[in-house]
Chains A and B, each alone.
Chain A
Amino acid sequence: MTTVAPETTGSVLVRRPGPRELHPARTHRRRRALELSLAAAVPLLLVLLWQLAAVQGWIDDRVYPAPSTILADGWDRATAGELWPDVWATTQRVLAGYAVGTAAGYLLGLLMGSLSLVRAALEPLLDALYVVPKLALLPVFLNMFGLGEGPQVALVAATVFFFVWISTMSAVMAVPDGHRDAGRVFGASPWQMFRHVLLPASLPAVLVGARIAAGVAVLVIVASEQIAATDGLGHLIFDSRALFQNDVMFVGIVCVAVLGVLFSELVRFVGRLLTPWAPRDRGRGQS
């Protein structure tokens, strides 16, 4: 909340309605329109600049193809059905790994947040594993699961696990004592305590971790597909670069970006449904 700019007329300071108070509906509508057009205009402007640079020859359009080329190429590949197997392969790996990682991270975070002995036993170990770059684990997973989907899914799961684990554990530990005490006095069983207190109290913070993890999951899968996969968007990007098909490479990059945005928005949407009491995590939509 900003302070209202003072208006001084002579020796009198007047607090009077501003445009927001005089025309609430109109001001809100305009503000909203401005926000939406800014959100669309800024990326559009950058793409136009890129197009201009490519057309004018400021940049080498064999290395950085014009957006129009990328779009046309992407459209062709999509209609010909060449793009979908890769998109689908990546999506499947991300979803499977994300599901496993989230479930494991949530369970362990919950246990470690509520039971200090479990926390004492596992926290140093997990802290140490947390700092290991997950991509460095890919060879280990390749040895464990062989080629195929196993190592890819495991890598995403391992990455997601840590984000969800840390946010769950800290969220459970941050549940105010008063909340627990009220349940304890009524004689709540561990399950009732979880169901009525710990789960809802920790959920908003857990969902923040889950949403960060959604973005990182896409990031990791692309990197791992380039190393050890025969399909998927990561494979497409690096393979086409090796073949000097830079336009295809950019099609892959755009697909990854779209996939990442869709996925993290999906997680956010589900989160809103799950926590109707929590404040929105974006400034929009306030009254």
Chain B
Amino acid sequence: MGEPYPKVTAHDLTRAFGRGTRAVDALGPLDLTVAPGEFVCLVGPSGCGKSTLLRIAAGLLRPSTGTLEIRTLSARPAAMIFQDYGIYDWKTVQANVRFGLDVQRVPRREADARAADWLARTGLADFAHAYPATLSGGMRQRVAIARALAVEPELLLMDEPFAALDAQLRTILQDELLEITQALRTTPLFITHSLEEAIVLGDRVLVMSARPGRIIAEHRPPFPRPRTGDVRAAPEFTALKSELWDLLRKEAVPA
């Protein structure tokens, strides 16, 4: 990768919820190293602590033990895209995209310009002054992506961002995300249930076990960058997908 230091290092990371006898181990112990710019996809059964890991990285939650280090100069290097969009109904599309910049006190003129740029890149320019309620699901998720990217985050955290979309739209947005992230210097951490999604997008696909989530396998899809959605048709794609599915099936079915 050329850069000497990893971007993200998790060491012996665990997280439990609840106290005393009702405590539930949700995550770990987990060790993870992510290189700068590396697109990491996490797949695993429901409730395996994928989201917990992401929330720790985002600073929304503290680990129970262990540490997660992010190599950065910024105090808030991450942006997050949520499954249910997390965009605000009471702000116009443009104001939503500008939200992160407004919070970081970027001057209005510059913020507007950056928001407009991201609206254009995500195909939302015509809807800048519309309210999210009038948009379709795919459009709303584009707003969420534009909002996260407008702050130029070093770490782009995505928690099943396309789970609520239909299959066709999902494919389209995967391709768009692929194109956008390949043009940026960000380190994406992407959670999904879809193996296909993970293989198309990821430089690395990490398979997590059932709760408490640990990493049980790691694969590097053999497609060079820059890549496009066409890799879905490659024979290696199908082979890797069935290999991962064999792993995951054991975890997804309760013993």
Contact = CB atoms under 8 A, between A and B. Distances in A.
A14 B62 CA distance: 10
Contacts of A8: 75
B159 to A, nearest CB: 15
A14 B70 CA distance: 6
Interface stretch (B12-20, B32-40, B160-168, B223-231): B12-20
Given A4-B60, A4-B61, A6-B59, A15 B67 contact: yes
B163 to A, nearest CB: 20
B150 to A, nearest CB: 19
B244 to A, nearest CB: 28
A21 B23 CA distance: 12
B68 A3 contact: no
Contacts of B73: 11
A32 to B, nearest CB: 11
Contacts of A13: 69-72, 74-75, 77
Contact of A16 (B62, B71, B77): B62
Given A3-B60, A20-B62, A12 B22 contact: no
Contact of A14 (B23, B68, B74, B76): B68
Interface residues of A, number: 19
Interface in B73-87: 73-77
B64 A17 contact: yes
Contacts of B71: 11-13
Given A6-B76, A8-B75, A13-B72, A287 B62 contact: no
B9 to A, nearest CB: 9
Contacts of B22: 287
Interface string A1-30: 101101010011111111011001100100
A12 B17 contact: no
B56 interface: yes
Contacts of A11: 71-73
B158 interface: no
Given A287-B17, A287-B19, A17 B60 contact: no
Interface in B59-111: 59-77
B57 interface: yes
B57 A25 contact: no
Nearest to A20: B62
Contacts, number: 64
Nearest to A24: B19
B65 A17 contact: yes
Interface string A112-129: 000000000000000000
A194 to B, nearest CB: 32
A3 B75 CA distance: 12
Contacts of A24: 19, 23
Contacts of B62: 4, 15-18, 20-21
Contacts of A20: 62
Contacts of A25: 19-20
Contacts of B63: 15-17, 21
Interface string B37-59: 00000000000000000001101
B215 to A, nearest CB: 18
A287 B67 contact: no
Contacts of A15: 56-57, 59, 62-63, 67-70
Contacts of A287: 17-19, 22
A25 B20 CA distance: 7
Contacts of B60: 1, 3-4
Q: Which 5 A-B pairs have the closest CB atoms?
A: A15-B68, A13-B70, A6-B75, A16-B67, A21-B64
16 contacts: A1-B60, A3-B59, A3-B60, A4-B59, A4-B61, A6-B59, A11-B72, A11-B73, A14-B67, A15-B67, A15-B70, A16-B66, A17-B64, A21-B63, A287-B17, A287-B22
Given A13-B69, A20-B62, 7 more contacts: A1-B60, A3-B60, A6-B75, A11-B73, A13-B77, A16-B67, A16-B68
